[in-house]
A = this chain, B = another copy of it.
């Protein structure tokens, strides 16, 4: 039977709190695809600091477009500009010749966990990190595929419901990176606070300090029309998506607290 996990390697194995770790496709992909902004990191040979860019993207599989992301590895497509210089150095100087070594991180904050003492404070969160090799996508059909996926990952149906296809000029000035994922892992913290035993014996402390979780999620507010908007009402698929995101976000944050109990 095929494994539904990214391979555990020296790179992605979690050394710290490994019981919070997950390597399965479903967990990793869902964290990446529901994250509004990905943090993409790579090296610039011109200075010692890794570059970190906030970018938009999602997982997909161009070669096998009907593949179920819960049961197969995926690539990550990223939309945005990265200096060509970096790619050149990646191709010439990289160890693998496969592209630029890149790390993609996605994190969701699900709640602030408050205990009797700051040392035991924590956060409920879901984070995923994928390591892979990035190349600039040059094939027009693959670029179109990736743009469709990235647009609809942010707001389902938006691609078809707005003006497509892109013009030639638009296509030319859009950069799409494809990250071939070599390994990936996720880390998830759920539940309420843990306490020090000595603190729990201190009745005065326990009676005076509230402990628990303040859940949090990304909330989408009433849409504001742009100055050139010509449509009176917000389309139903947008409002449906917005309310569903809010309710999923809220439910997820509260469920995360329950899961640990």
Q: Which residues of A contact B (CB under 8 A)?
A: 10-11, 15-16, 36-37, 39, 41-43, 46-52, 54, 56, 81, 83, 94-96, 101-105, 107, 109, 112, 114-119, 121, 123, 125, 127, 129, 131-132, 147, 151, 154-155, 158-159, 161-164, 166-167, 170, 174, 192-193, 195-196, 199-200, 202-203, 205-231, 233-235, 238, 242, 249-250, 253-254, 257, 261
Contacts and interface: CB of A to CB of B under 8 A. Distances in A.
Nearest to A171: B119
Contacts of A121: 151, 154, 158
Nearest to A82: B16
Contacts of A42: 50
A216 B218 contact: yes
Nearest to A237: B210
A235 to B, nearest CB: 5
A216 B36 contact: yes
Given A117-B170, A147-B118, A163-B117, A221 B253 contact: yes
A218 B109 contact: yes
Contact of A54 (B112, B117, B127): B127
B206 A212 contact: no
A99 B162 CA distance: 50
Contacts of A250: 219, 221
Contacts of A11: 47, 49
Given A163-B199, A221-B254, A37 B107 contact: yes
Given A11-B49, A118-B166, A163-B116, A220 B214 contact: yes
B228 A211 contact: yes
B154 A112 contact: yes
Contact of A158 (B118, B192, B249): B118
A37 B235 contact: no
Interface centre among A49, A104, A254 (most CB of B within 10 A): A49
Contact of A41 (B36, B52, B95, B119): B52
19 contacts: A36-B216, A39-B52, A39-B107, A43-B48, A49-B131, A52-B103, A109-B218, A114-B158, A117-B164, A118-B151, A118-B159, A118-B164, A163-B199, A167-B196, A210-B225, A210-B233, A217-B219, A218-B219, A221-B250
A122 to B, nearest CB: 9
A227 B113 CA distance: 12
